[in-house]
A and B are shown apart, each in its own frame.
Chain A
């Protein structure tokens, strides 16, 4: 998608909980959880990323 952003993969449970979440996997963009508890298909994920950048 040609994006140049910092991507961080977080596995620290306390950090995920500090965001107010209790499930994994989670996709967070600019501190906003956009996909929680399940994985969607790749097209949907692309759309979500575009909408939230």
Chain B
């Protein structure tokens, strides 16, 4: 049926021939699911992270900043959100990016669009969404994520919150157009390879645990078991999902496979999307770090606007699907 067919054959062979598990039992279902999903996800991850890293080697943050500082407001928000897709983001890079953008004259609203899109729409989340949920959900996630990043940035830009940024930020200004040393093709490949291994090393254990628990749920929890608690008719499901997602950022890679199993058991699509967006976009460690460069009030405004956008997205998809 798909390009993953050879992996299914391999998973079948391993489950039934090597492990000698009787077909059509619950155990066989769970083991087969686990082997298939793990292989599929790791192959997809390796390929996609590598390709994105190659693209990224042509678009480092310094170049993105140069592009963004020449754009007008609304177009700037759109381009910042789009460029956020290919950039990696961990809470450790929030400060340098924020300072580097704002001090080089990129508008605050545009900077926020980038800060929102960058962690929310990243290649690891996309691979997992694609692999566990299929391209439709992955596409819904990307498009609504982009819209949230664009609109939140525009709203924050309109609110004139420059006074809520720590004064030292605006005391330094810098020239955003610097010449970067060019990389050779060989260096790009070496960079991409190193980066791919780095990410895989960081996330593999979470993914294995996520798929493992997911496989257990897949095999043992009755279908639609969760619909009575988290179906689309439960109004509290979406805000609750967003709240639970906030402290889970570092485990995003493991959360997605787990959630895909929960969806299968009756959690509605809108709630699932809202939960995953909350996991990636609202990160407690990032908020703590941002305190160095902005007042708590601005962090709350930023988190509040993004959370509202995510909750609305959740309700929207619960209503239409």
Residues of A within 8 A of B (CB): 13-14, 16-24, 33-38, 40-41, 44, 48
In the bound complex, do residue B100 and residue A38 qualify as a contact, i.e. CB atoms below 8 Å apart? Answer: no
- Asked, given contacts A38-B191, A38-B194, A40-B187, whether A20 binds B175 with beta carbons under 8 Å apart, the answer is yes
Question: Which of B60, B96, B183, B187 is close to A17, meaning CB atoms less than 8 Å apart?
Answer: B96
CB neighbours of A16 from chain B (8 A): 96
Most B CB within 10 A of own CB, among A22, A24, A33, A35: A22
In the bound complex, do residue B62 and residue A22 qualify as a contact, i.e. CB atoms below 8 Å apart? Answer: yes
CA distance A23 to B183 in the complex (A): 15
Most B CB within 10 A of own CB, among A20, A21, A23, A37: A20
Most A CB within 10 A of own CB, among B172, B177, B180: B180
CB neighbours of A40 from chain B (8 A): 187, 190
User: B174 at the A/B interface (Cβ < 8 Å)?
Assistant: yes
Classify the secondary structure of B's interface with A: helix
Question: Which of A13, A21, A34, A44 is close to B178, meaning CB atoms less than 8 Å apart?
Answer: A21
Question: Which of B60, B172, B194 is close to A36, meaning CB atoms less than 8 Å apart?
Answer: B60
- Asked, given contacts A17-B99, A22-B96, whether A34 binds B181 with beta carbons under 8 Å apart, the answer is yes
CA distance A26 to B297 in the complex (A): 34
Residues of B within 8 A of A (CB): 60-62, 65, 93, 95-97, 99-101, 103-104, 172, 174-178, 180-181, 183, 187, 190-191, 194
In the bound complex, do residue B194 and residue A20 qualify as a contact, i.e. CB atoms below 8 Å apart? Answer: no
CA distance A35 to B65 in the complex (A): 18
In the bound complex, do residue B172 and residue A23 qualify as a contact, i.e. CB atoms below 8 Å apart? Answer: no
The 7 closest A-B pairs by CB, nearest first: A20-B178, A22-B100, A22-B61, A38-B191, A22-B96, A17-B99, A17-B100
In the complex, the chain A residue whose C-beta lies closest to that of B172 is A18
Taking the nearest CB of chain B, how far is it from the CB of A47, in angstroms? 12
In the bound complex, do residue B187 and residue A21 qualify as a contact, i.e. CB atoms below 8 Å apart? Answer: no
Q: A13-B95, A22-B97 are in contact. List 12 more A-B contacts (CB 8 A).
A: A14-B172, A17-B99, A20-B174, A22-B61, A22-B101, A23-B93, A33-B178, A36-B62, A37-B191, A38-B187, A40-B190, A48-B181
In the complex, the chain A residue whose C-beta lies closest to that of B173 is A18
CB neighbours of A38 from chain B (8 A): 183, 187, 190-191, 194
In the bound complex, do residue A20 and residue B62 qualify as a contact, i.e. CB atoms below 8 Å apart? Answer: yes
Taking the nearest CB of chain B, how far is it from the CB of A53, in angstroms? 15
Q: Can you name 9 A-B pairs with beta carbons within 8 Å?
A: A17-B103, A17-B172, A21-B178, A22-B93, A23-B93, A24-B96, A36-B60, A37-B191, A38-B191
In the complex, the chain A residue whose C-beta lies closest to that of B103 is A17
- Asked, given contacts A17-B100, A22-B96, A22-B100, whether A37 binds B174 with beta carbons under 8 Å apart, the answer is no
In the bound complex, do residue A21 and residue B95 qualify as a contact, i.e. CB atoms below 8 Å apart? Answer: no
In the complex, the chain B residue whose C-beta lies closest to that of A21 is B62
Taking the nearest CB of chain A, how far is it from the CB of B107, in angstroms? 17
In the bound complex, do residue B181 and residue A35 qualify as a contact, i.e. CB atoms below 8 Å apart? Answer: yes
In the bound complex, do residue B181 and residue A23 qualify as a contact, i.e. CB atoms below 8 Å apart? Answer: no
In the bound complex, do residue B181 and residue A14 qualify as a contact, i.e. CB atoms below 8 Å apart? Answer: no
CA distance A49 to B178 in the complex (A): 20
- Asked, given contacts A17-B103, A17-B174, A37-B60, whether A23 binds B194 with beta carbons under 8 Å apart, the answer is no
Taking the nearest CB of chain A, how far is it from the CB of B232, in angstroms? 42
